[in-house]
Amino acid sequence: AQSVTQPDARVTVSEGASLQLRCKYSYSATPYLFWYVQYPRQGLQLLLKYYSGDPVVQGVNSFEAEFSKSNSSFHLQKASVHWSDSAVYFCALSMISAGNKLTFGIGTRVLVRP
């Protein structure tokens, strides 16, 4: 069975600092991988996705993620965070055989201090 692990429940960073959120997946083949963000009292919004090709993918708001097949990871990064990046971030995977159904990690809550 497939699974997604986000080892950090909470991350606190100062405004202007860099941010890395970790994501590890378990799946026998190469999955489709996603990062979503959830702002307070809102639904989830797509930040970026990886299907194949270049392992570094660019997303909205200067986020990027790097896929590593050898490490079964898909870590999210941002060079310089803004207070508005405070939110919950979810890593997710889907399998070609399962349509568009997503399996989510538990999420990482990010707090950006001014």
Contact assessment for residue 110 and residue 44, using Cβ atoms and an 8 Å cutoff: no
From 1, 28, 29, 42, residue interacting with other proteins (rule: CB under 8 A): 42
Contact assessment for residue 64 and residue 75, using Cβ atoms and an 8 Å cutoff: no
Answer yes or no whether residue 110 interacts with other proteins by CB under 8 A.
no
Contact assessment for residue 63 and residue 45, using Cβ atoms and an 8 Å cutoff: no
- The residue among 51 and 80 lying less far from other proteins, judged by its C-beta, is 51
Q: In whole angstroms, what is the distance from residue 74 CA to residue 91 CA? A: 8
Answer yes or no whether residue 69 interacts with other proteins by CB under 8 A.
no
From 10, 82, 101, 113, residue interacting with other proteins (rule: CB under 8 A): 101
* Paired residues of 87 in beta bridges: 110
Choices 10-18, 61-69, 73-81, 97-105; region in contact with other proteins by CB under 8 A: 97-105
Choices 19-27, 44-52, 54-62, 79-87; region in contact with other proteins by CB under 8 A: 44-52
Which among 74, 99, 100, 69 has a CA at the least distance from the CA of 89?
74
From 19, 21, 23, 44, residue interacting with other proteins (rule: CB under 8 A): 44
Answer yes or no whether residue 94 interacts with other proteins by CB under 8 A.
yes
Q: Is 79 helix (H, G, I), strand (E, B) or coil?
A: coil
